[in-house]
Structure 1
Amino acid sequence: MQIYRTPRQGGRFLSVMDTGPADAPAWFYCHGIPGSKKEVLMATARNKTESVRLVAIDRPGYGGSTQMKSYRFADHTDDVQTVAEQLQINKFSLLGFSGGGVFAMATATALKERVNRVMLVGTPAVPIQNSPYKHAGKLTAETWHAALTAPQDLITQLAYLTGDSALLATALIDSLSDQERQFLQASQLRKAFQQNLVAATQQGALIAADSIVRDIQLMAREWPFSVGDLGVPIEIFHGEHDALVHLEHGQALTSFISGSVLTALPYSGHYDTLIKAYQRSI
């Protein structure tokens, strides 16, 4: 595993984690909201990694990547392309978890000639879902709505949680199903879950909160790209008991994206679906 900083225009830096053999099939990992490159540690907690090369980039404001308030999907695509060229990766696949799935779709649309496969796990479909807030947990729905209607107030409210990664972890875990909470009690999984949130908030409460709101706005507003027919295999995984982003979002994505295939995992929630999807498909 290697972690390094990549300079970008405007004096900012990206923090990148590169795991697995250099000659293995490459996957770029797009983390959730909130999240970080260390979210990969959750995906791989119960899985072998020798057969793939996983490259995870902290989006601006998370982990070690410089904050960028004006960040857009085009910037994310450019960041992925830059890192791929630096690592001499010509073709790659994309794995997007939760809100990161929308960033994966945007990147796949812009760079489809370089993309082999796309896997979306627990991804919200807010702008294409008839009742997005109805089909989400209370914490999730309220946060999505506030990001669009009262973003500054939400930043202030979120800073209470993002100022303490333990409080943030507790808030997220309390929003999960009893079964998924029990699943995350395994020491290796709980450690990876906490490491991800520590990294996600390491730049401080306000930067983390601002980054979360920025990303939710990008995810929840009308998407400035079309994924109707990407021409590459698109696999969608969603837990039937996802208490944060309900299965209806995965179903909406499948109906929206031509040729996509949905696998609904019984007895699975949000984070455990990431682990199981990785194990099944990569």
Structure 2
Amino acid sequence: QMGNYPETKFIQFHDGRKIAYCEYGDPVGQPLFYFHGTPGSRHEPLHAHQAAQEHGYHLIAPDRPGIGRSDYQEGRTLLGWADDVSQIADQLGLNTFGVIGASGGGPHVLTCAYAIPDRLAFSVVMGSWVPVATTDLALDMAPLDKFFLRLASRSPFLFSLPFSWFVISSRYLSPQMFIKSMDSSLCEADRKLLQNPEMAAFFQEDVKEAFAQGVRGPADEAILLYKDWGFELGEIDVPVYIIHGEDDKFAPHSFAVYLDKTLSNSTLKTYSGQGHLFLITTFNEVFDLIANPS
């Protein structure tokens, strides 16, 4: 599957800023935005292509500002992403659309659910982050993430230093060594998934592409996620599907339980024995769930 990425396209906003995106699935299907993880890129839903085709979805996967090939944006906010999505949809001639996000893409789905509910056909978060800055869930995080949280609350500048390690490791290590470097954040299921050389290379490529312009964009985004998001989850009225692996170490299962408790209109679907990464390989299940919410 490597190198089979669809063509990268660009949309230009009125202020001149450009957003890069890739399309997957059925070009005339129901429009569905896919928001990548942190760090991740427009290449992430490669494994969704076939499932999206079969289920009749037109998947649009944009790189967020400063990530992959999308222009950097000074003073970016989480709520600003809802504006970006509206503008992308306007330019593509889409009135309503679904939003789905994995990991750090989850908060970007929730932002849209809060800010542009009228445009959303449905909202799905997979292995999503929660606003750890305003909850006591930080205790459940993997050691690496606890370290990031401490840094983010102190000094954004320092924050980009550990991210440099991601850049270096994604560029220069073999896929096997890259995966090894993340070992403390992997549960058994994730480790097993990444023993497949193709999956390891795919995952490394996704992270590497996130840093195509360097550290600034991804580091900015991570800081956004570790700080106050600018809205309350309780203010979201639209239905949200929450999909989570019970053994997830990147975004612990308690995050999903917290989301389900805090959102007024949610459906929680957890998978026992699964971690964080199964989400980007099992889109068939996800699309089935949206089609038949039981």
> Which residue does 1:49 correspond to in 2?
52
2:98 matched to which residue of 1? 93
Amino acid in the other structure paired with 2:68: G
Say if 2:44 and 2:280, in contact at 8 Å, map to a contact too: no
Match of 1:257 in 2: 263
| Structure-1-length-normalised TM-score | 0.89
Question: Counterpart in 1 of 2:64?
Answer: 59
Flag the 1:69–1:52 CA change in 2: closer, same or farther, 3 A: same
Displacement of 1:125 = 1.4
Cα RMSD of the aligned pairs, angstroms, is: 2.1
Q: Which residue of 2 aligns with 1:124?
A: 129
Q: Does 1:148 align with 2:158?
A: no
Q: Secondary structure at the match of 2:232?
A: coil
Gaps of at least 5 residues in structure 1 are none
Displacement after TM superposition at 1:9 (Å)? 4.2
The 5-angstrom pairing of residues 151-230 of structure 1 reads 151-166=156-171, 167=173, 170-204=180-214, 208=215, 210-228=216-234, 230=236
User: Secondary structure at 2:159's aligned position in 1?
Assistant: helix
Percent identity reads 25
What TM-score comes out, normalization by structure 2 length?
A: 0.85
| Equivalence for 2:276 | 270
Instruction: Note if contact 2:210-2:218 (Cα within 8 Å) is conserved in structure 1.
Output: no
Q: Distance in 2 between matches of 1:253 and 1:238?
A: 11
Higher mean alpha-carbon deviation, 77-86 vs 183-192, is at 183-192
The equivalent of 1:109 in structure 2 is 114
Taking the aligned partners of 1:170 and 1:60, their CA distance within structure 2 comes to 29
Structure 2: distance between partners of 1:90 and 1:250: 30
Q: Structure 1, residues 29-80: CA drift from partner, whole Å, max 9, x if none?
A: 11111111111125x27x5221211111101111111112311123211221
CA distance in 2, matches of 1:253, 1:121: 11
Instruction: Write the distance in 2 (CA, Å) between the matches of 1:56 and 1:75.
Output: 17
CA drift of 1:170 comes to: 4.4
- Helix, strand or coil: the match of 2:34? strand
- Contact 1:128 1:252 (C-alpha < 8 Å) held by counterparts: no
The count of corresponding residues between Structure 1 and Structure 2 is 275
Secondary structure, in 3 states, of the residue corresponding to 2:60? strand
Q: Determine the C-alpha separation between the residues in 1 that align with 2:183 and 2:30.
A: 33
Letter in 2 for 1:48: A
Distance 2:279 2:157 in 1: 32
Residues 1:232 and 2:235 aligned together: no
Q: Which runs of 5+ in 2 are unaligned?
A: 1-5, 288-294
